[in-house]
């Protein structure tokens, strides 16, 4: 496994649409392994192909569905990951406005409206299709990362940024 460089704000890659994955091969497995390592190193929740310069429809997410309600990690807890290849959001339910960040835009927290629940389907690294129903952080992550595959980021989605609010308030005083 190897760390990959995370593409940062201003890089035109982040605005491009990704192509479908067609080969479920060793190269894809290597990419996914590297993405896990890169995500863990950056302490993030999700990471999409274009964020490591790969213009393919693939993203990964942390899977914390087995954690207790309070989010407390038990002793020796090992982080689990979900891998989405050629993902498709099938249906959504409800709406939640919440701040979210992105590893490509460090220090930016955008207020983004996202569905409360999401039903999606995708393929795993071996080419097997699966369906998933998600809520909370995972639902938000699936939407955020799917956006990346279409060249859409929090800069497009955020209604405002937390950092800008603080600045505005500071100026008024």
List active site positions: 145
Going through the chain in order, the beta strands assigned E by DSSP cover: 46-48, 58-63, 80-93, 96-100, 110-114, 117-123, 129-135, 160-161
For Ni ion, give the closer residue by CB, 21 or 142.
Answer: 142
For Ni ion, give the closer residue by CB, 60 or 70.
Answer: 60
For Ni ion, give the closer residue by CB, 24 or 55.
Answer: 55
Applying CB under 5 A, the span of 22-30, 66-74, 101-109, 156-164 interacting with Ni ion comes to 101-109
Shortest distance, position 104 Cβ to Ni ion, whole Å: 6
Question: Taking a C-beta distance cutoff of 8 angstroms, is the pair 102, 46 a contact?
Answer: no
User: Two tokens at 62?
Assistant: 């942390």
Applying CB under 5 A, the span of 26-34, 98-106, 132-140, 158-166 interacting with Ni ion comes to 98-106
For Ni ion, give the closer residue by CB, 106 or 127.
Answer: 106
Q: Which residue is nearest to Ni ion (CB)?
A: 102
Positions in 110-149 near Ni ion (CB under 5 A): none
**Distance between CA atoms of 132 and 50, rounded to whole angstroms?**
23
Pairing of strands 160-161, 110-114: antiparallel
User: In the 8-state DSSP scheme, what is residue 13?
Assistant: G
Q: How many residues bind Ni ion (CB under 5 A)?
A: 1
Q: Which of 91, 26, 22, 90 is nearest to 58 (CA)?
A: 22
Q: Which residue of 21, 31, 82, 102 would you call a contact of Ni ion, by CB under 5 A?
A: 102
Which residues are at the interface with Ni ion (CB under 5 A)? 102
């Amino acid at each position: 496994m190897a760390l990959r460089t995370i593409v940062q704000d201003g890089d035109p890659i982040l605005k491009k649409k990704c192509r479908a994955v067609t080969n479920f091969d060793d190269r894809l497995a290597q990419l996914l392994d590297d993405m896990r390592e890169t995500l863990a190193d950056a302490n993030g929740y999700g990471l999409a192909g274009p964020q490591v310069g790969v213009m393919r429809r693939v993203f990964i997410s942390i899977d914390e569905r087995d954690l207790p309600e309070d989010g407390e990690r038990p002793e020796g807890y090992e982080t689990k990951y979900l891998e989405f290849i050629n993902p498709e959001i099938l249906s959504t339910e409800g709406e939640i406005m919440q701040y979210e960040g992105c590893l490509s835009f460090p220090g930016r927290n955008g207020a983004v409206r996202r569905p409360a629940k999401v039903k999606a389907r995708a393929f795993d690294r071996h080419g097997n299709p699966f369906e998933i129903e998600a809520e909370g952080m995972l639902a938000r992550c699936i939407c955020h990362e799917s956006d990346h595959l279409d060249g859409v980021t929090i800069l497009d989605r955020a209604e405002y940024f937390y950092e800008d609010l603080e600045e505005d308030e500071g100026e008024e005083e």
